[in-house]
Amino acid sequence: MALGRVKKTMAVAVAVVVVLAVHFTRTMALDPTVIVIGAGMSGISAAKMLSDAGIKNLLILEATDRIGGRIHKTNFSGLSVEMGANWVEGVNGPQVNPIWPMVNKLKLKTFFSNYDNLSSNTYQQTGGLYKESFAKAAFDMADKLSEFSTNVSTSLTASRLEDISILASQRLMNMVPSTPIEMALDYYNYDYEFAEPPRVTSLQNTEPLPTFTNFGEDVYFVADPRGYESVVYDIAKQFLATNSAGKITDQRLKLNKVVMEIRYSPSGVIVKTEDGSIYRGGYAMVSASVGVLQTNLINFQPDLPRWKILAIYQFDMAIYTKIFLKFPYKFWPTGNGTEFFLYAHETRGYYPIWQAPVGRVYFTGEHTSEHYNGYVHGAYLAGIDSANMMIGCIKKKICKFQIMPKGT
Ligand SMILES: *[C@@H]1O[C@H](CO)[C@@H](O)[C@H](O)[C@H]1NC(C)=O
Ligand SMILES: *[C@@H]1O[C@H](CO)[C@@H](O)[C@H](O)[C@H]1NC(C)=O
Ligand SMILES: *[C@@H]1O[C@H](CO)[C@@H](O)[C@H](O)[C@H]1NC(C)=O
Ligand SMILES: *[C@@H]1O[C@H](CO)[C@@H](O)[C@H](O)[C@H]1NC(C)=O
């Protein structure tokens, strides 16, 4: 049920560095209060939250020529396919996943992904399906292993012990998946969801998984020609001006603005872009992905504090490769209960990351979501959380935050 998450797929951007002769003009009165960097789900969510709170002096700088970030469609062989996030994950549970009503409001075409019949659809290496009873036993064992891992995770948390990997918890049970079907299921349960193997996946952040525990275990595949990105556009249009054709024309959204430098001091921030523009603001909300932050495409002046740099560098941007193939005819079983079957490919991925602002520079993005990192709703909720912290600082002068780096 992967890819409902905003997969941390990185586009390789070639930045042309322009050396600028810079002189600052004093136009402080007209400066935006907040400069939001990045117009993906979290940046747009944060900007809307700020706008709703009356902070309308905003400027959104987006590096590409569109909004949506890693929620992005393309035309493949006459069909619209999603390059990034594809599922609404976590539906029909005790709480409402905030993305679900947005998808339904827009009447985006979705399909319930039914994995229930997977044990009838597990192929052997030597060809053909496993016998269902045999496969079923392996599925039951994998469920038990997951339940055991959840128990270990809960007990680690209760005794305030260090986090371990999922693989370490499997070793504790002396049940490291080793047969082909056990490994395929392990892959399905973990790599497919987290884009990395259990060896490097945090136990405490995944077992139990807040997305499924809180929002439900159902996942819906978004397959609408308008694209999953429609939800980001819909949020944007609730606070940005549009023309009669519904196109965003608001001058506060600036596309093709590649941010190169963020200067910050107790009196505000100065943001420089690749094309030589300079923007001043009271605060910056950085929603660039952790992958962009790691490549140092944005130069922070002064350098970010060491704990923040460590937090950024500690995490891997997993590369989740989606491959779309078009065949001249259907050679696979079709019909109810045959949509999914097990297969494997290489991935690498996630660790948890902490969220905390640095002076007047705040960070947001799915990677800053404590419970929902890696997911579209994580990006959306992180935008709201980060904006609320900033609003508290701007309006109530409460600029001290509980979230502190480990060890302080
Ligand atoms: C994709 O491109 C083809 C050819 O350019 C066009 O006919 C088709 O309508 C496009 N489909 C979508 C979903 O954008
Ligand atoms: C997990 O913990 C529950 C509650 O304590 C217990 O009933 C269950 O047997 C445990 N499961 C495993 C696989 O250890
Ligand atoms: C597909 O199967 C599920 C149960 O596995 C059933 O609830 C559903 O009605 C079926 N759909 C169709 C179109 O047969
Ligand atoms: C489950 O999958 C098998 C094998 O593809 C198929 O024959 C069967 O009809 C499916 N069962 C249900 C309930 O969908």
Within 126-205, residue ranges assigned H as helices are 132-158, 166-172, 180-186, 192-194
Which class for 24: exposed (0-12), middle (13-18), buried (19 or more C-beta within 10 A)?
Answer: exposed
Query: Is pLDDT at 382 greater than 60 in this prediction?
Result: yes
Coil, strand, or helix at residue 210?
Answer: helix
For residue 88, what is the enclosing H or E element? strand 87-91
Ligand nearest to the CA of 223: 1
- Mean pLDDT confidence for 177-195: 86
Q: What is the pLDDT of residue 242?
A: 97
Between CA 390 and CA 362 the distance in angstroms is: 8
Whether pTM exceeds 0.75: yes
Pocket mutation for ligand 4, best pick of 139, 338, 340 (most atoms within 8 Å of C-beta): 338
Half-sphere exposure of 18 (CA within 13 A, CB side): 12
Q: What is the pLDDT of residue 181?
A: 86
Between CA 389 and CA 153 the distance in angstroms is: 29
- Most confident region among 21-25, 58-62, 207-211, 265-269 by mean pLDDT: 58-62
Question: Residues 9, 319: contact at Cβ < 8 Å?
Answer: yes
Instruction: With cut-offs at 50, 70 and 90, classify the pLDDT of residue 403.
Output: low
**Which comes out higher in pLDDT, residue 390 or 364?**
390
Residues with CB under 6 A from ligand 1: 75, 78-80, 225
Quick one: tokens of 367?
């990677």
**Out of 267-276, 323-332, 347-356, least confident range:** 347-356
**Rounded percentage of the chain residues whose pLDDT exceeds 70:** 85
Query: Is pLDDT at 24 greater than 70 in this prediction?
Result: no
348 Cβ neighbours under 8 A, 6+ residues apart: 195, 196, 197, 200, 316, 318, 319
Query: Is pLDDT at 29 greater than 50 in this prediction?
Result: no
Instruction: With cut-offs at 50, 70 and 90, classify the pLDDT of residue 347.
Output: very low
Between CA 408 and CA 403 the distance in angstroms is: 10
Q: What is the CA radius of gyration of the chain?
A: 23
Is 261 a residue of the active site? no
Long-range contact pairs involving 393-402 (C-beta distance under 8 Å, separation at least 24): 393/283, 393/357, 394/33, 394/34, 394/55, 394/282, 394/283, 395/53, 401/356, 401/357
**Out of 64-73, 257-266, 381-390, least confident range:** 381-390
Between CA 126 and CA 55 the distance in angstroms is: 62
Pocket mutation for ligand 2, best pick of 149, 151, 157 (most atoms within 8 Å of C-beta): 151
Question: Closest ligand 3 atom, CA of 336?
Answer: 1
Question: Closest ligand 1 atom, CA of 225?
Answer: 13
Q: How far away, in angstroms, is 191 Cα from ligand 3 center?
A: 28
**Out of 42-46, 102-106, 237-241, 306-310, least confident range:** 306-310
Q: Please pick, among 62, 82, 89, 339, the residue that the annotation labels catalytic.
A: 89
Between CA 16 and CA 350 the distance in angstroms is: 30
Residue tagged 């500690």 (tokens):
314
CA 240, chain centre distance (Å): 23
Q: Tens digit of pLDDT for each residue in 132-166?
A: 899 999 999 999 999 999 999 999 999 999 999 99
Q: What is the pLDDT of residue 407?
A: 42
Query: Is pLDDT at 16 greater than 50 in this prediction?
Result: no
Ligand nearest to the CA of 77: 1
Q: Is 112 in the pocket of ligand 3 (CB under 6 A)?
A: no
Query: Is pLDDT at 358 greater than 60 in this prediction?
Result: no
**Which comes out higher in pLDDT, residue 208 or 126?**
208
Question: Residues 377, 99: contact at Cβ < 8 Å?
Answer: yes
Nearest CA to ligand 3 atom 6: 336
